[in-house]
Amino acid sequence: MNGRRVQSILLPFAAAALLVLVWHVAVRWTHTDVFPSPAAVARGFVELARKGVLFRYSWDSLRRVAAGYGLALAIGIPAGILLGWRPGLARAVNPVIQFLRPISPLAWIPVAIVLLGVTDTAAIFLIFLASLFPILVAASNGVRSVPAMYRDAGRNFGLKSGALLSRVVFPAALPEILAGLRIALGIAWIVVVAAEMIAVNSGLGYLVIDSRNAGKRYDLVVAAMISIGVIGLLLNLLVQRVSRLRAVRWGFREES
C-alpha cells in the first residue's frame, strides 16, 4: 500500500477523531444538559441496535430511496436522452421542465399526503420528484454535448440512428449522466429524511422526530443523524466507484 493510499485512509479518520474530540470538549466545557456527549450517543447507538430499530429504520429509508430513485432512473434517463436527441421536442417541453424544476420536493409534501395518505407511496413519490429532474436534465445535456464529430464518425461507419444512439452517443454522454445520478441520489437521500418526518411512521427521519418527541432523547436524535450522514457518505462512494469503472470512463473527468 503506497503512501498516498495510506494518507487517503488515515486523514479522514484523523479529521473525524478531531471532530469527536471537539464535540466532547464543547459538551464538557458548556456543562450542557441538552446536547449529548459522544459517549451518550454511543450508548444510544447500542440501545437502538439492541432493539433492532436502527437496522429496521435504516432499511426502510433505503427501500424508499431505492423505489423512488429507481423509478426516476427508469423514466428520467430515456426521457432525457430523447430530449437531447430531438432538439425540437426539447424546445417544446423545456418550459414545463423549467416551471416544475424549481419547486422544492418538500413543497409537494401536503399534496402527497392529501393524494396518497401517510404511506410509503407518498414518500416514494416525493423521492421520485426530487430525483427526476436532475437525471432528466443531465441525460439531455449529456446527449446534446456529445461532439458532432462522434456522430459523423458513426454515420461514416454506416450506423443507423438506433445504433448510433446506443453505441456512440449514449457512451459518450454517460459521464455527464452519471454526474447527474450522483447529484440526484444525494437529493433523494435528503428528501427521504424530510418526508419521513411528516409522511410516514418509520425510517431514520421518523426516528429523529420520534426520539425528540418521546422524552427529548437527543442522544437518539444525534445517533439517527450520524446514521443518516454515514449512509449518505456510503451511497456517494458507491456512485463514485461505479463512475470509475473502466466500462463507463469514456471521456470521464476525474472528480475529487
What pLDDT, in 10s, does the model give residues 26-39?
888 888 777 888 88
Position 112 pLDDT exceeds 50: yes
Domain for residue 243, yes or no?
A: yes
How far, in Å, are 8, 22, 55, 171, 234 from residue 62 at the CA level?
A: 27, 31, 10, 29, 12
113 and 46 co-located in one domain:
yes
Domain for residue 64, yes or no?
A: yes
Q: How many domains does the chain have?
A: 2
Q: What does the pLDDT read at residue 227?
A: 92
16 and 53 co-located in one domain:
no
148 and 164 co-located in one domain:
yes
96 three-class SS: helix
245 three-class SS: coil
Q: What does the pLDDT read at residue 254?
A: 43
Cell of 83: 430530449
Position 205 pLDDT exceeds 60: yes
Q: Given pLDDT bands bounded at 50, 70 and 90, which one contains residue 105?
A: confident
Q: What does the pLDDT read at residue 246?
A: 62
101 and 215 co-located in one domain:
yes
Mean pLDDT, all residues of the chain: 84
Domain for residue 105, yes or no?
A: yes
41 and 17 co-located in one domain:
no
Cell of 189: 437521500
Q: What does the pLDDT read at residue 23?
A: 81
More confident residue, 155 or 133: 133
**% of the chain at pLDDT higher than 70:** 91
221 and 176 co-located in one domain:
yes
Q: What does the pLDDT read at residue 116?
A: 83
Domain for residue 72, yes or no?
A: yes
Region for residue 158 given its phi and psi (left: phi exceeds 0; alpha: psi -120 to 50; beta: otherwise) = left
Position 134 pLDDT exceeds 90: yes
Q: What does the pLDDT read at residue 247?
A: 58
Position 54 pLDDT exceeds 80: yes
In angstroms and rounded to an integer, the radius of gyration of the C-alpha atoms of the chain is 22
Single-letter amino acid code for the residue at 249: R
19 and 54 co-located in one domain:
no
> Cα(162)–Cα(168) distance, rounded to whole angstroms?
10
pLDDT per position as a tens digit, 209-231:
888 887 778 888 999 999 999 99
φ/ψ of 140, rounded to 5, equals -65, -50
17 and 85 co-located in one domain:
no
Q: Are 143 and 85 in contact (CB under 8 A)?
A: yes
Domain for residue 85, yes or no?
A: yes
110 and 204 co-located in one domain:
yes
pLDDT per position as a tens digit, 158-177:
777 777 777 778 888 888 88
Position 238 pLDDT exceeds 60: yes
Residue 18: domain span = 1-32
174 three-class SS: helix
pLDDT per position as a tens digit, 175-192:
888 888 989 999 999 898
Range 191-196 average pLDDT: 87
50 and 4 co-located in one domain:
no
The CATH number given to whatever domain includes residue 88 is 1.10.3720.10
132 and 157 co-located in one domain:
yes
> Cα(192)–Cα(186) distance, rounded to whole angstroms?
10
Out of 58-62, 145-149, 244-248, which region has the weakest mean confidence (pLDDT)? 244-248
Q: Given pLDDT bands bounded at 50, 70 and 90, which one contains residue 193?
A: confident
> Cα(134)–Cα(100) distance, rounded to whole angstroms?
12
Q: What does the pLDDT read at residue 31?
A: 80
Q: Are 97 and 240 in contact (CB under 8 A)?
A: no
Domain for residue 256, yes or no?
A: no
71 and 183 co-located in one domain:
yes
